[in-house]
Structure 1
Amino acid sequence: FFWYLYQNIKKHTYKYCTIIISEYFCFFLNVTQSKSVLKMVTAGYFLFFCIVRILSARSSAFVVPHNRQHIKSTAVLSGQNIESPADELTIAFTREKGKNYKIHDAVAANPILSMLDAKVNLVDLPCIRHAEGDDHENLLRYASKSNIEEFDYVIITSPEAAKVFGEAFRGDFYTSETKIAAVGKATKKALAEFDLEVDFVPSKATGETLAAELPALPDARVCNVLYPASAKAPDTIRDGLQAREAANFEMTRLNVYDTVPATFTDEQMNLFDDIDVACFGSPSAVKAWLQNVDVFLGTEGLSEEERRVVGNNGGVMAACIGTTTARECLESGRWEPNHIYYTKNKPGVDS
């Protein structure tokens, strides 16, 4: 009985599962009429197990809508019916070279992929590379204990900013009274590689939450903040700190690095025909992806309005690290809203 149920779950033949569960529910009701506590507990456990298995099997992620001829199977993402190839699934990672190992491992270990009964290919297509920002030299001027102690906090909102900051300060920060605030676990880990201890991490890994929760100084004293950031980072931190009426923050922003779009080779562009899902870790990666898609399709000479065609994104599902990146996909006009996946409550690579 249970083997038959398991096989139907594995094959996603849910109409048969529904029948089985209905029959088993009747069995459960009959068992409750008996005086055997063991039978009642066992029946309840297996009923719960069956329901959980079906719900988890229907909660698929990283599955793509695609316009190819060999579409055969249907999976479910965020309550939407999404078609995907039954034989093969190709997932592209767009972070800089050498920074995709963590998400590689996470995706490869995802139990949902094994349910798809498909071959999964993981490929690296770095969409951005980093370059020094206009304020990089200014950061070096702060790289001493006496200068950095002008600030009460240093806010770090990305692993790359952590790397730039760590390389600039080396051993000069350790005896400083200045505290470090990191936006999330990945950034905290990047700082730890330079033996820099983080004093504050917000409850949610977003700039909005960090700005809202950063501890203020007592007695409404001015809290001076240094913010080494990407030149393309929005003013989320500044706006969030200024919006806190009960606190008094003064922020110095330094654009210490910049993200530059990577240009795909012909070999990389030929992969567009095979890719089902693109994983994006930043709005810059989304923009760079679309620029390369335009070159591939020969539409780079068209106006922005003419290129804003739903589906004109390389034919991929967008899996985003958080809301900011997902918003960039949506505002580009190239994706249907239900073709963009992101983790709302717990952004990050792990999610």
Structure 2
Amino acid sequence: MNTGKVWLVGAGPGDVGLLTVKGMEILRQAEVVVYDSLVGQEILSRIPEQVRCINVGKRASHHTMPQEQINQVLVEEAKKGYRVVRLKGGDPFLFGRGGEELELLVKEGIPYEVVPGVTSPIAVPAYNGIPVTHRDFTSSVHIITGHKKQGAAYDIDFEALVRTKGTLVFLMGVSALSDICGSLLQAGMDKDMPAAILQKGTTAGQKRIVATISTLEEEVKRQGIETPAIIVVGRVCALSEEFAWHEKLPLSGYKVLVTRPRDLISSMAEKLRLMGAEVLELPAIRTEPVEENAQLLEVLEKLDTYQWTVFTSPTGVRVFFEKLQECHTDIRALAKLKIAAIGKGTTKALKERGIFADYMPEIFDGEALGRGLCELCEGTEKILLPRARMCNQEILTELSQKPGIQVDDIPIYDTFYETRDLIDRKKGFETGDIDCAVFTSASTVRGFREAAKGLDFTKVRAACIGRQTQAEADALGMETYRAREASIDSLLELVIELKGKTARK
């Protein structure tokens, strides 16, 4: 039997942009992913659909699975011949017990690789404007685990730490904050030494409390803090107000659920992330070309009999041109046709294939597209309409108003609902952890409904691309808002307005 292989991959502190290029490539090729609770939701939402995922928990004092059993799972899955990724928050070898997992792999003769990760004691302070070293303040940084067994004393030389005059970063120490601060003061640290506690760094839940080593515990009690969080002690903490940058981004602190099909999701998600949002990529639908499409094949043989080809989605463009290639037909077959596109996304998809649309309506929906075509047509035109099997009828209703127009409405792709459960959508909206959902079509709303059964949809703030999408969300009782025009850029502007609560319904 072929033995598989294990990759220990550091997932970083949460922001998917801090997952290394190598880590992402290995994740894409994985067959089994064994992940823990500190892996960011953004990263979990990027795990390929076909991958089998095993949640082993592991957060301070709360273990879904004991470490010994995790080690055994890695061996068992690899022995079945699978490509196994052990996905760990931060870096596998920095308090990640990666060494323990390797011991059993070595003993069992399982091949493995280690992919280091961006580690939270460096990245989280950076996202909060705290450089862990600075030539005017300190030339060393020291990373310490703040976790200790209940009732036991710290096995840490606090006096030695104080003598270093370096920046001290404590991981997993929130519950022991009082002991850590007290021990440093007892070891001779200046009571006015700046100190900070940094919550959920690099994610939408990021929060910073800066005080002194003698007042930090009191400030935490007053302002509140959630785990995971790290404690930073050192003069560099005083720079946070001056150097803070992440919170100045327009969507910092905002978590957005994106529901587009996976093949269309990345550009919008990337734009949201560049503006500071935490983005969960959870496609509500997927699209697949219609198999054995004899109707389309027949049409492709007589393209010269049409005057117009009308595209109503980027997916329709992609599938149509893929089918042209399969039939060994190039774009010269479209030379005598005029091309219409429903909006900017569809127009862009055509441009990428070397075609400029002859017509795009000012309002990007089926009704406006149909009405505009009626004005352009004399009444004897033949129109090819390649689109989804499940779609609205508004364009056909409008075209029927003009006698003499013949429309061949050809289904070229099917839409299916996605229901992957790595992220609990229901809990995310009901607790307010997810701030809004972005819907780019009525079908994504329907797919979301299926994926989030049992959710009180009145808890969902919905950013909708157009009128039909908003109507579908309204029917579920969502709090809906509509973009000024049916385009991705306008939808992004709407999300920014929602964060500032200035959007109009």
Give the TM-score normalised by the residue count of structure 2: 0.43
Say whether the 8 Å CA contact 1:180–1:199 is kept in structure 2: yes
Q: Name structure 2 gaps, 5 residues minimum.
A: 1-223, 225-250, 491-505
Query: Residue 131 of structure 1 corresponds to which residue in structure 2?
Result: 288
Runs (4+) of structure 1 moved beyond 4 Å?
A: 215-218, 268-273
In the TM superposition, 1:20-35 aligns within 5 A as none
Measure the CA separation in 2 of the matches of 1:133 and 1:276: 36
Deviations 1:38-76 (A, max 9, x none): xxxxxxxxxxxxxxxxxxxxxxxxxxxxxxxx9xxxxxx
Question: Secondary structure, in 3 states, of the residue corresponding to 1:341?
Answer: strand
Query: Residue 241 of structure 1 corresponds to which residue in structure 2?
Result: 399
The one-letter amino acid paired with 1:203 is E
Query: Residue 360 of structure 2 corresponds to which residue in structure 1?
Result: 201
Instruction: Name the Cα RMSD after superposition.
Output: 2.7
Query: Residue 331 of structure 2 corresponds to which residue in structure 1?
Result: 173
Structure 1 pair 330/209, CA: closer, same or farther in 2 (3 Å)? same
Measure the CA separation in 1 of the matches of 2:252 and 2:360: 43
- Aligned pair 1:326/2:474, yes or no? no
Query: Residue 416 of structure 2 corresponds to which residue in structure 1?
Result: 260
Query: Residue 12 of structure 1 corresponds to which residue in structure 2?
Result: none
Shift in Å at residue 253 of structure 1?
Answer: 0.4
Measure the CA separation in 1 of the matches of 2:424 and 2:350: 32
Query: Quick check: which has more Rg, 1 or 2?
Result: 2
Deviations 1:287-322 (A, max 9, x none): 11111211xx3xxxxxxxxxxxxx712832000111
Query: Residue 301 of structure 1 corresponds to which residue in structure 2?
Result: none
Greater helix content = 1
- Aligned pair 1:160/2:315, yes or no? yes
Shift in Å at residue 165 of structure 1?
Answer: 1.1
The one-letter amino acid paired with 1:90 is K
Structure 1 pair 193/319, CA: closer, same or farther in 2 (3 Å)? same
Say whether the 8 Å CA contact 1:136–1:254 is kept in structure 2: no
The one-letter amino acid paired with 1:136 is N
- Aligned pair 1:91/2:256, yes or no? yes
Measure the CA separation in 2 of the matches of 1:157 and 1:193: 16
Say whether the 8 Å CA contact 1:205–1:347 is kept in structure 2: yes
Shift in Å at residue 230 of structure 1?
Answer: 0.7
The one-letter amino acid paired with 2:435 is D
Shift in Å at residue 132 of structure 1?
Answer: 2.5
Query: Residue 317 of structure 1 corresponds to which residue in structure 2?
Result: 461
Query: Residue 269 of structure 2 corresponds to which residue in structure 1?
Result: 104
Q: Name structure 1 gaps, 5 residues minimum.
A: 1-69, 71-85, 111-118, 298-310
Measure the CA separation in 2 of the matches of 1:248 and 1:165: 26
Shift in Å at residue 216 of structure 1?
Answer: 5.5
Say whether the 8 Å CA contact 1:217–1:223 is kept in structure 2: no
Say whether the 8 Å CA contact 2:309–2:339 is kept in structure 1: yes
The one-letter amino acid paired with 1:143 is L
Question: Secondary structure, in 3 states, of the residue corresponding to 2:419?
Answer: coil
Measure the CA separation in 1 of the matches of 2:382 and 2:256: 43
Deviations 1:165-218 (A, max 9, x none): 111224533253111111111101112222233221112211111111116577
Say whether the 8 Å CA contact 1:326–1:342 is kept in structure 2: yes
State the structure with bigger RCO (CA 8 A, min sep 6), 1 or 2: 1
- Aligned pair 1:288/2:447, yes or no? yes
Structure 1 pair 266/150, CA: closer, same or farther in 2 (3 Å)? same
Deviations 1:308-350 (A, max 9, x none): xxx7128320001111100001123x32xxx20112x422111
Measure the CA separation in 2 of the matches of 1:94 and 1:87: 20
In the TM superposition, 1:172-191 aligns within 5 A as 172-175=330-333, 176-191=335-350
The one-letter amino acid paired with 2:417 is P
Query: Residue 228 of structure 1 corresponds to which residue in structure 2?
Result: 386
Deviations 1:223-274 (A, max 9, x none): 1111111111111111011124xx5311110111111000122445465552
The one-letter amino acid paired with 1:93 is V
Measure the CA separation in 2 of the matches of 1:88 and 1:217: 47
Q: How many residues align?
A: 234
Deviations 1:108-143 (A, max 9, x none): 466xxxxxxxx7421111111112337833212322
In the TM superposition, 1:133-148 aligns within 5 A as 133=290, 136-144=293-301, 147-148=302-303
Shift in Å at residue 88 of structure 1?
Answer: 3.9
The one-letter amino acid paired with 1:256 is I
In the TM superposition, 1:36-47 aligns within 5 A as none
Query: Residue 341 of structure 1 corresponds to which residue in structure 2?
Result: 481
The one-letter amino acid paired with 1:168 is K
Say whether the 8 Å CA contact 2:259–2:438 is kept in structure 1: yes
Query: Residue 141 of structure 2 corresponds to which residue in structure 1?
Result: none
